[in-house]
Every structure is written in structure tokens, then in C-alpha cells.
């Protein structure tokens, strides 16, 4: 199915290159495999995995159908701009459940998301047609999630060699299959995913309405000034730094060589500090999210 989908869009969509669609990972940082520790996505969702969370939302909304599905959504309780903390919690919880949850937990979260998605569809006034159950849109969103996690993991731990990259990729399939993406739609190999990503990224088109919405997101306009003022500069820097050039250009965001050097130095320092942290601290947030999910399931509370 993945091959048929690529064939259907590449006729009208140019295939871009990794230089356009991926961030730069310093070449000197090579992943060191000690005692053949597996390169799996379960090891990549520590605290700093969410450093590029806002950037990942920008990437997802690069497809117009996803952008207008979010901007026009009638599910107010999940609105990114009206309820940013709840939206952040549910998105982080989806990632955690998709990667760490058992079959029962994934099924429960899938049904909760599906209940919200049933209300996310275009109407006669929408500039583009969309439906949240569209598997192609969900594949794109899942692909963005994978790219974001892989990029952050490599910033922290170094560039993976081909074997590690393949192992890491194969462990990430549940990012899509936890919702509507069937196994055979997820590209079979890491090389095939690269091709999918570079073709699918050719469909990114950010109009002025979406640009204004996303720039408000980058500037954290949806949160209280008391929090925005002290933290916005750092979060804006992290967001722009974890955006591939294609998205920066469409949003008109400046990123200089000096910015890139500062970004590389920041992650070199963070990487060193991160390795020194005990696992309960690094992965504590994900454990709390899983406990919260199980508590909600036990007491029949809303999951999203």
C-alpha cells in the first residue's frame, strides 16, 4: 500500500532532498553502541525528546488538510489555542501509549481519539477537504512524529549507522498503527521511509492563514504572559532549530549559521548532562503519563 500511495502523489509532487526536509545533525556526533544496546524508540522518549514538540506540530500542519482540520476543529476541549496544556498532555500521552502501552491501553486510547476525530471533517466553508479518519493524513502525522523523535535522539546520542537506524525505525511503527495506519501503509524499510518522507514533504503548503496560526504557536501566544515572557525566547529557539529548512522557509523564520552553531553547542551540553541523569528522572514524565492513563481507564475517566 505504501508503494501505491507514493506512486499516486509523486506524479504531481516533486521529491525533495534530506537537506530540505531534515535538520542538520553534527557529523562529528556518531552514536556509540555500548554492549550492543539496541537502538529502539523506547529509549528515545526521555525528557528532551519533547524539545521539538512545537516544531513537530508545525510540521504536521504543513499539509493543508491537517492544518485546517486543527484550525477549524469543532472539538473545543482539544483546541490547541484554547486549551494548550490539555492538548500537550493528550499528545504526549498518545506518544507514550503508542510506544510503551500494551494492546488494551492502545485500543482504549485509539477509541478515545476516534471519538474526537469523528467531529473533525470539512464543511462547505472549508478551503480544503479533510477528514480526520483519512489514513493518508494520519500517515503524514505519524511520519512527522517519527522524524521529530529520531532527530532529537540523534542530537542527544549521535548519528545512527544504517543497522541501528533500521532497528530504530522498525520499533517505531506503532506511532501510526496505534490509530488508523495499517501495517502495509507504513514503509517497510528505513530507506523506503526516506523516500516517502521526501515525496510527502513536497505536499507541504503553508498559506497565510496557517502561517499566522503557526507563528502564534512558535511565539507561544496561547499561554499566559507570566509563563510566555521568561520561557518564550528559549522555546522559540528550540522550535526553529528543530524545524527542517523547508518549514522555516515557508514560515519566513530566520535561521543563520551562527544560530546553528549555538544550537549545536546547546545540544552538545544537554547531551552530556542528559547521560548523567538517572533513568527515573529522564523517563519520569513518561511513567507519570502511563500511570495517569491507567488511572483514567480504571475510573472510566475521559482519556482525551
What are the contacts of 125-129 at 24+ separation with CB within 8 A? 126/68, 126/72, 127/64, 127/68, 127/207, 128/64, 128/65, 128/68, 129/65
CA distance 281 to 272: 15
Check if the beta carbon of residue 65 is closer than 8 Å to that of residue 141. Answer: no
Going residue by residue through the chain, which has 304 residues, state the pLDDT in tens, using 9 for 90 and above.
555 555 556 656 678 999 999 999 987 655 554 435 668 999 898 888 888 888 999 999 999 999 999 999 887 765 777 777 777 888 889 999 999 999 999 999 999 999 988 989 999 999 999 999 999 999 999 999 999 999 999 999 899 999 999 999 999 999 999 988 999 999 999 999 999 999 999 999 999 999 999 998 888 887 777 767 788 888 899 999 999 999 999 999 999 999 999 999 999 999 888 888 888 888 888 899 999 999 999 999 988 8
Would you say residue 11 lies in a domain?
no
Would you say residue 276 lies in a domain?
yes
Would you say residue 3 lies in a domain?
no
Would you say residue 256 lies in a domain?
yes
Please give the residue range of the domain that contains residue 175: 37-298
Handedness of CA 140, 232, 289, 270 (dihedral sign): positive
Q: How many domains does the chain have?
A: 1
Instruction: Calculate the alpha carbon distances from 291 to 102, 256, 296 in Å.
Output: 13, 42, 9
Would you say residue 192 lies in a domain?
yes
- Reduced to 3 states, what is the DSSP secondary structure of residue 157? helix
Tell me the three cell numbers of residue 249. Answer: 522557509
Would you say residue 278 lies in a domain?
yes
Would you say residue 249 lies in a domain?
yes
* Count of other CB atoms within 10 angstroms of residue 103: 7
Would you say residue 128 lies in a domain?
yes
Amino acid at each position: 500500500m505504501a508503494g501505491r500511495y507514493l506512486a499516486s502523489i509523486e506524479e504531481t509532487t516533486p521529491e525533495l532532498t534530506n537537506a530540505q526536509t531534515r535538520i542538520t545533525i553534527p557529523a562529528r556526533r556518531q552514536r556509540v553502541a555500548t554492549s550492543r544496546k539496541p537502538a529502539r524508540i523506547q529509549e528515545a522518549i526521555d525528557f528532551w525528546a519533547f524539545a521539538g514538540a512545537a516544531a513537530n506540530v508545525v510540521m504536521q500542519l504543513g499539509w493543508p488538510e491537517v492544518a485546517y482540520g486543527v484550525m477549524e476543529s469543532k472539538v473545543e476541549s482539544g483546541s490547541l489555542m484554547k486549551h494548550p496544556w490539555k492538548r500537550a498532555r493528550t499528545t504526549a500521552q498518545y506518544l507514550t501509549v503508542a510506544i510503551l502501552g500494551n494492546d488494551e491501553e492502545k485500543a482504549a486510547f485509539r477509541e478515545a481519539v476516534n471519538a474526537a476525530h469523528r467531529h473533525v471533517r470539512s464543511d462547505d466553508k472549508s478551503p480544503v477537504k479533510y477528514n480526520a479518519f483519512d489514513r493518508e493524513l494520519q500517515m503524514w502525522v505519524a511520519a512527522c512524529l517519527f522524524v521529530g523523535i529520531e532527530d532529537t535522539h540523534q542530537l542527544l546520542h549521535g548519528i545512527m549507522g544504517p543497522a541501528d537506524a533500521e532497528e530504530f525505525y522498525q520499533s517505531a511503527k506503532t506511532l501510526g498503527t496505534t490509530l488508523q495506519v495499517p501495517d502495509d501503509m507504513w514503509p517497510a524499510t528505513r530507506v523506503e521511509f526516506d523516500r516517502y518522507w521526501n515525496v510527502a514533504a513536497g505536499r507541504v503548503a503553508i498559506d497565510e492563514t496557517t502561517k499566522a496560526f503557526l507563528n502564534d504557536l512558535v511565539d507561544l501566544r496561547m499561554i499566559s504572559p507570566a509563563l510566555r515572557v521568561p520561557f518564550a525566547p528559549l522555546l522559540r529557539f528550540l522550535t526553529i532549530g528543530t524545524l527542517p529548512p523547508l518549514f522555516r522557509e515557508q514560515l519566513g523564520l530566520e535561521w543563520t549559521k551562527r544560530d546553528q552553531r549555538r544550537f549545536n553547542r546547546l545540544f552538545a551540553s544537554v547531551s552530556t548532562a542528559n547521560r548523567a541523569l538517572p533513568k527515573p528522572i529522564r523517563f519520569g514524565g513518561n511513567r507519570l503519563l502511563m500511570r495517569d492513563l491507567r488511572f483514567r481507564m480504571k475510573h472510566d475517566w475521559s482519556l482525551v
